[in-house]
């Protein structure tokens, strides 16, 4: 069991070093995404409650992360959102093994709570949805950091979280289904490419 934990930890650390230049994935390579989703599914299957236990974030931070992920990629008529895709679990698992991610995401969540407490007297989760939107609008646009240098790190945090959420979503079963990816399916015969109109 201990050997299994060490090997998982080693694999996650080595795979979460960053996405390959030119990759569709913005934060991590595809191999890390597949491995992380597999580990999360296994943990849920092995758990009596079928729940994921956060590895890095405390309970309040994890709830904040879930809310942010759902805000970034909400469910709609075409697909489940970031929560259904397991993006918060994905982010937490990979963050638990990467000190750079821990600093970016932990610092960003702390900034959200500190800012909301200073403005509204409550942490981010306790603030109203209008107040949450107001704070997120500050950090959702790079141009705001151009006008106010105190927002630079918060804008970078939110940009990183958006990319990480997209990686978690589009590499999940929910995201792959949304994209309509068929995968490696067996064909009895290959009908060729469809004709190009006008040729």
Total length of the chain:
199
What pLDDT does residue 1 have? 41
pTM of the model: 0.78
Alpha helices in the chain (DSSP H): 2-15, 30-46, 59-72, 82-85, 87-95, 99-120, 129-139, 142-147, 152-170, 173-179
pLDDT, tens digit (0-9, with 9 covering 90-100), for 49-104: 778 899 999 999 999 999 999 999 999 888 889 999 999 999 999 899 888 999 99
Whether the pLDDT of residue 19 is over 50: the answer is: no
Q: What's the rounded Cα separation, in Å, for the pair 161 and 57? A: 14
- The pLDDT score that the predictor gives to residue 109 is 98
CA distances (Å), 186 to each of 88, 167, 177, 190, in order? 34, 27, 18, 10
Tens-digit pLDDT profile for residues 100-128 = 999 999 999 999 999 999 999 999 999 99
The residue extents of the domains of the chain are 2-16+24-179
How far is residue 96's CA from residue 68's CA, in Å, rounded to a whole number? 18
pLDDT in tens, 28-46: 677 777 888 888 888 888 8
Residue 37, pLDDT score? 86
């Amino acid at each position: 069991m201990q050997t299994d934990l060490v090997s998982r930890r080693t694999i996650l650390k080595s795979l979460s070093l960053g996405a390959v230049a030119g990759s569709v994935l913005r934060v991590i390579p595809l191999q890390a995404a597949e491995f992380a989703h597999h580990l999360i599914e296994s943990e849920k299957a092995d758990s009596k409650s079928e729940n994921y236990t956060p590895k890095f974030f405390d309970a309040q931070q994890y709830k904040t992360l879930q809310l942010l992920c759902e805000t970034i990629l909400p469910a709609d008529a075409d697909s489940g959102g970031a929560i259904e895709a397991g993006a918060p679990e994905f982010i937490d698992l990979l963050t638990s093994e990467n000190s750079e991610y821990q600093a970016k995401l932990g610092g960003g969540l702390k900034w959200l709570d500190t800012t909301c407490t200073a403005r509204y007297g409550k942490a981010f989760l306790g603030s109203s949805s209008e107040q949450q939107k107001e704070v997120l609008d500050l950090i959702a646009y790079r141009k705001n950091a151009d006008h106010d240098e105190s927002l630079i790190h918060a804008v970078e945090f939110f940009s990183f979280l958006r990319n990480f959420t997209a990686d978690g979503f589009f590499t999940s079963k929910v995201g792959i289904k949304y994209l309509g990816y068929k995968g490696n399916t067996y064909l009895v015969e290959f009908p060729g490419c469809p004709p190009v109109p006008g040729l």
